[in-house]
Amino acid sequence: MKSLVTGAAGFVGSHLVEQLLERGDEVVAVEREGASRGWLRGLDVDFHDCGLHSPQRLRSAMRGVRVVYHLAALTEARRPRDCYAVNTVGTANVVQAAADSAGAPPRIVFMSSLAAVGPARPGQLLDGDSIPMPLSHYGRSKLQAEAILHVYADRVPAVICRFPAVYGPRDRAVLKLFQMVSHGVAFTVGPWHRKVSLVYVMDAVAGLVNAGESPHAPGRTYCIAHPTPATWGEFVTAVALVLDRNPRRFALSMGAARAVAVAAEAVGLMRRRAAILNRDRVRELAQANWVCDVAAAMGELSYDPRYPLLSGVGRTADWLRREQWL
């Protein structure tokens, strides 16, 4: 089978490409214009650095493709409009290219986010039918991308997969936490007891692959995560355990976090790069419940997550040490 992956050289995308190659797929890799092959270096892929901004070039890359795994996205942006340009307009171009394909259009598996729906109310779980109330430009841009897939539903079969935080080897976001803990400190915004769903990268990849294969999936929205949530404090405890550290923990108040975010945004504007922390992100981090229900994915997609928290964190730490990132 021939598959196409956007954002193929990134953290999740590169793991997905490796899994598709391992099962025998012919893989087309799409990355932003001028991007290097990164983690794809040495892999047998048809590499296109056409980005998401030309439906014509995307349509050419999709020739003969059965499934498009659309992962490319901006999670951090210097300006809000950049989020919409990539996450919303870029998705519209991918879907338009699929609709214009010769013959039957490919299935699109869209990697969305829990940010598109917003946090759950106390005592509740997020699922594919939750009423969306995103808190950030990133979340709103992903929700608008989902809406585009619904508009094209009669022309392009699509599956929406909403993910919580994905962690594992090659992830530079989680690297910051491992580095802090290795140096004996850990910081958070808001309370340590806030509850989150998490997913190890190989479980995330399994969910995407299953969504590309299941006959039940088109037209549906699934949450993909490990079924056992954790508090943020428990996640840090797992990192500390595998690193054999006992970090001092600090929780920034909301006022302090917002002040840091404002300063970081100003620095980002001066340096013409995305801020390491922004007010949208602080608003999301402060929420008490980012837990989702994966029952539909486990039932309809035969999704079988295999890496509970301590196992996934341990595998991540092993990789970080082996690659000398720690």
Out of 92-101, 232-241, 255-264, pick the least confident.
255-264
* Amino acid type, 296: A
Q: Is residue 312 part of a domain?
A: no
Q: Is residue 232 part of a domain?
A: no
Which helix (H) or strand (E) covers residue 205, if one does?
Answer: helix 201-213
Catalytic residue status for 200: no
Number of domains forming the structure of the chain: 1
Q: Provide the CATH number for the domain around residue 94.
A: 3.40.50.720
Per-residue pLDDT tens over the stretch 13-30: 999 999 999 999 999 999
Q: Is residue 139 part of a domain?
A: yes
Among candidate residues 69, 138, 200, 307, the one labeled active-site is 138
Give the pLDDT confidence score for residue 257 in this predicted structure. Answer: 67
The percentage of residues in the chain with a pLDDT greater than 90, rounded to a whole number, is 76
Higher pLDDT, 115 or 262: 115
Q: Is residue 118 part of a domain?
A: yes
Higher pLDDT, 74 or 110: 110
Instruction: Note every long-range contact of 209-216, with CB atoms under 8 Å and residues 24 or more positions apart, other chains counting.
Output: 209/16, 209/19, 209/20, 209/23, 210/297, 210/301, 210/302, 210/303, 211/109, 211/159, 211/161, 211/301, 212/3, 212/67, 212/69, 212/107, 212/109, 212/159, 214/159, 214/300, 214/301, 214/302, 216/300, 216/301
pTM of the entire predicted model: 0.94
DSSP output for 142-199: HHHHHHHHHHTTTTS-EEEEEE-EEESTT-HHHHHHHHHHHTTEEEEES-TT-EE-EE
Q: What is the chain's length?
A: 326
Q: Is residue 59 part of a domain?
A: yes
Give the pLDDT confidence score for residue 10 in this predicted structure. Answer: 94
Q: Is residue 55 part of a domain?
A: yes
pLDDT at 277 exceeding the cut of 80:
no
Q: Is residue 277 part of a domain?
A: no
Query: What residue numbers bound the domain in which 67 lies?
Result: 2-165+198-225+289-305
Question: What average pLDDT does the structure give for the chain?
Answer: 92
Q: Is residue 321 part of a domain?
A: no
